[in-house]
Chains A and B, each alone.
Chain A
Amino acid sequence: MNEIISVKRLSKSYGGLSAVQDLNLSVMQGTIFGLLGANGAGKSTTIECMLGTKKPDTGRVSILGMNPFRQRKQLFENVGVQFQEANYQDKVTVVELCQVTQSLYRHAADYEELLKKFGISHKAKSMVKELSGGQRQKLFIVLALIPQPKVVFLDELTTGLDAKARREVWKILSDLKGKGLTIFLTSHFMDKVEALCDTICILRKGKAVFYGTVKEAVADSPYDKFEDAYLWYSDEEVNDDENI
């Protein structure tokens, strides 16, 4: 198996406040990697430092053997990205956004197929801002898949999706994984992470507090269920205890 993503000793702070500290990650081809943690644990900062939209203070990032700063154009021919915040023009339609995205890549996928696969092809002529939260989320996953990427980054992909839509999206992603796609995702939704992620890393205040498989995470914790184990690692549970 090839290493697709390698992060070594990544650190980033904002005005003295440490957001990510000394993080090491390694993602193998055809696997799903989950970067987990509470809001503000440093997931988005990590993903942005990896993609080069933020500059890490120290550390080395390599994706598909390339440096995201120096080899940006070459690298992003093969990388799909879905950011947490919606970023599109005010009056743009679904089909226009897809066409432009398709035009950016040399080997783009057929976006109509993808829209169909995600069940939003009937919305092609609608304005993006008129879509429901779930439809918009699906659209941004479609945009991330248009380059026919070797690796795809999904930041909080299940936000705004209802249970049924989440299940559909997970199904599509695990099919794509079966075809060799490498997936890097962040989530604070433990639903399905357990079944899908080959490797997880749990962040707390910018530091990795667990790195390994879901099974190991449960075994190393005092709990039997992954969700409980996750809360224990990410320290979300402590507050609940205090309330009791």
Chain B
Amino acid sequence: MMRTFRIMLKNEMKLSLRDMNMVIFAICIPLVVLMILGVIYGNKPAFPDAEYTFLEQSFGALTTIAICAGGVMGLPLVVSNYRSRKILKRFKVTPVSPAVILAVQVVIYMIYSVASLILLYIVSAHFFGFRMGGSIFAFLGGYLLVMLSIFSIGMMVGGIAPNSQTASVIASLLYFPMLIFSGATLPYEAMPGALQKIADILPLTQGIKILKATSLGLPIENTFVPMIVMVVLAVICIGVSLCFFKWE
């Protein structure tokens, strides 16, 4: 079981790197957005008299770009693609359990996300004077929760979409609004009030609130609602994707 997992992970990671999509969307794009925000806002405070810079305020949001790319784009597409190419059907006539196949893909996108997080941290600390205002452990805890929750959406879409076209339409409908309107790229604080209200509906907006609070060291009480949203979402989506998993 562990051996199967290890070898499949190595193999699928190689295939994913050959494909290059995730290198661009999960590794390069977050860095580009970071550079742009860094160049525009530099070390300016987030608002007059703020104790943290605009960039520090945006850091938590930027770390979710990779989560979003892997979770709602990469994960559902690879799973539905493997189903329509009958790769899952071939696995069905072997002793492997579907949980292993899904876990391998989840871990691959976790690796991309964490790599993106580390790179963002190094670049922003080195070039833009970033420092973590809150507890690093609280931030990492929040990061894992957001990752689990967003990935579970992707697992559900990949697990139950009838074919890869549908999966790719659903993935695009989830990905692009979340990328633009949840504050991951376009800063939430820069949005007009009406747009903020719409953004609040998106699960990633709630996730970003947790990451902002923990990275800036703001009171944790403000994140209870977002945390409940993340947990409920994860439980529902994981449940649905495991119950309704289809080999073909």
Which residues of A does B touch, CB under 8 Å? Answer: 51-53, 72-74, 76-77, 79, 81, 83, 85, 87-92, 96, 99-106, 147
Tell whether A103 pairs with B93 under 8 Å between CB atoms, given A85-B86, A87-B87, A89-B85.
no
Which residues of the partner chain A approach B96 to less than 8 Å between Cβ atoms?
104
Closest 6 CB pairs of A and B: A87-B86, A103-B7, A81-B93, A73-B95, A104-B94, A103-B4
Tell whether A52 pairs with B11 under 8 Å between CB atoms, given A83-B86, A103-B3, A103-B4.
no
CA distance A102 to B19 in the complex (A): 24
CA distance A78 to B14 in the complex (A): 29
Which residues of the partner chain A approach B85 to less than 8 Å between Cβ atoms?
87-90
Question: Closest B-chain residue to A101, C-beta based?
Answer: B94
Tell me, rounded to whole Å, the shortest Cβ–Cβ distance linking B187 to chain A: 37
Which residues of the partner chain A approach B97 to less than 8 Å between Cβ atoms?
73
Beta-carbon contact of B93 and A76 below 8 Å: yes
State which residues 11-29 of B face A: CB under 8 Å: 11, 14-15, 18-19
Tell whether A99 pairs with B89 under 8 Å between CB atoms, given A104-B95, A104-B96.
no
Tell me, rounded to whole Å, the shortest Cβ–Cβ distance linking A11 to chain B: 21
User: Looking at A51, A81, A100, which has the most chain B CB atoms within 10 Å of its CB?
Assistant: A100
Which residues of the partner chain A approach B90 to less than 8 Å between Cβ atoms?
81, 83, 87-88
Beta-carbon contact of B4 and A53 below 8 Å: no
Which residues of the partner chain A approach B4 to less than 8 Å between Cβ atoms?
103-104
Which of B18, B91, B93, B94 is A91 in contact with, Cβ under 8 Å?
B18
B247 interfacial by beta-carbon distance below 8 Å: yes
Which of B3, B6, B87 is A88 in contact with, Cβ under 8 Å?
B87
Question: Closest A-chain residue to B2, C-beta based?
Answer: A103
Question: Closest B-chain residue to A95, C-beta based?
Answer: B11
Interface residues on B, range: 20 to 34
CA distance A186 to B199 in the complex (A): 57
Beta-carbon contact of B11 and A96 below 8 Å: yes
- Interface SS, B side: helix
Beta-carbon contact of B94 and A76 below 8 Å: yes
Question: Closest B-chain residue to A85, C-beta based?
Answer: B86
B115 interfacial by beta-carbon distance below 8 Å: no
Beta-carbon contact of A100 and B247 below 8 Å: no
Which of B7, B15, B92 is A89 in contact with, Cβ under 8 Å?
B15
CA distance A101 to B85 in the complex (A): 17
Which residues of the partner chain B approach A105 to less than 8 Å between Cβ atoms?
94-95
Beta-carbon contact of A53 and B15 below 8 Å: no
Question: Closest B-chain residue to A91, C-beta based?
Answer: B18
Which residues of the partner chain A approach B19 to less than 8 Å between Cβ atoms?
91
Beta-carbon contact of B89 and A83 below 8 Å: yes
Question: Closest A-chain residue to B96, C-beta based?
Answer: A104
B138 interfacial by beta-carbon distance below 8 Å: no
Which residues of the partner chain B approach A147 to less than 8 Å between Cβ atoms?
94
B186 interfacial by beta-carbon distance below 8 Å: no
Tell me, rounded to whole Å, the shortest Cβ–Cβ distance linking B243 to chain A: 17
Beta-carbon contact of A99 and B92 below 8 Å: no
CA distance A51 to B11 in the complex (A): 26
Question: Closest A-chain residue to B90, C-beta based?
Answer: A87
B46 interfacial by beta-carbon distance below 8 Å: no
Which of A53, A77, A91 is B248 in contact with, Cβ under 8 Å?
A53
Beta-carbon contact of B7 and A100 below 8 Å: yes
B33 interfacial by beta-carbon distance below 8 Å: no
Tell me, rounded to whole Å, the shortest Cβ–Cβ distance linking A79 to chain B: 7
Question: Closest B-chain residue to A99, C-beta based?
Answer: B7
B8 interfacial by beta-carbon distance below 8 Å: yes
Which residues of the partner chain B approach A74 to less than 8 Å between Cβ atoms?
95
Beta-carbon contact of A53 and B18 below 8 Å: no
Which residues of the partner chain B approach A104 to less than 8 Å between Cβ atoms?
4, 91, 94-96
Tell me, rounded to whole Å, the shortest Cβ–Cβ distance linking A203 to chain B: 21
Tell me, rounded to whole Å, the shortest Cβ–Cβ distance linking A124 to chain B: 14
Tell me, rounded to whole Å, the shortest Cβ–Cβ distance linking A69 to chain B: 11
Tell me, rounded to whole Å, the shortest Cβ–Cβ distance linking A93 to chain B: 9
CA distance A51 to B90 in the complex (A): 11
CA distance A79 to B94 in the complex (A): 8
Which residues of the partner chain B approach A91 to less than 8 Å between Cβ atoms?
15, 18-19
Question: Closest B-chain residue to A78, C-beta based?
Answer: B95
Tell me, rounded to whole Å, the shortest Cβ–Cβ distance linking B10 to chain A: 8
State which residues 95-147 of B face A: CB under 8 Å: 95-97
Which residues of the partner chain B approach A76 to less than 8 Å between Cβ atoms?
93-95
CA distance A206 to B11 in the complex (A): 40
CA distance A188 to B3 in the complex (A): 39
CA distance A79 to B8 in the complex (A): 20
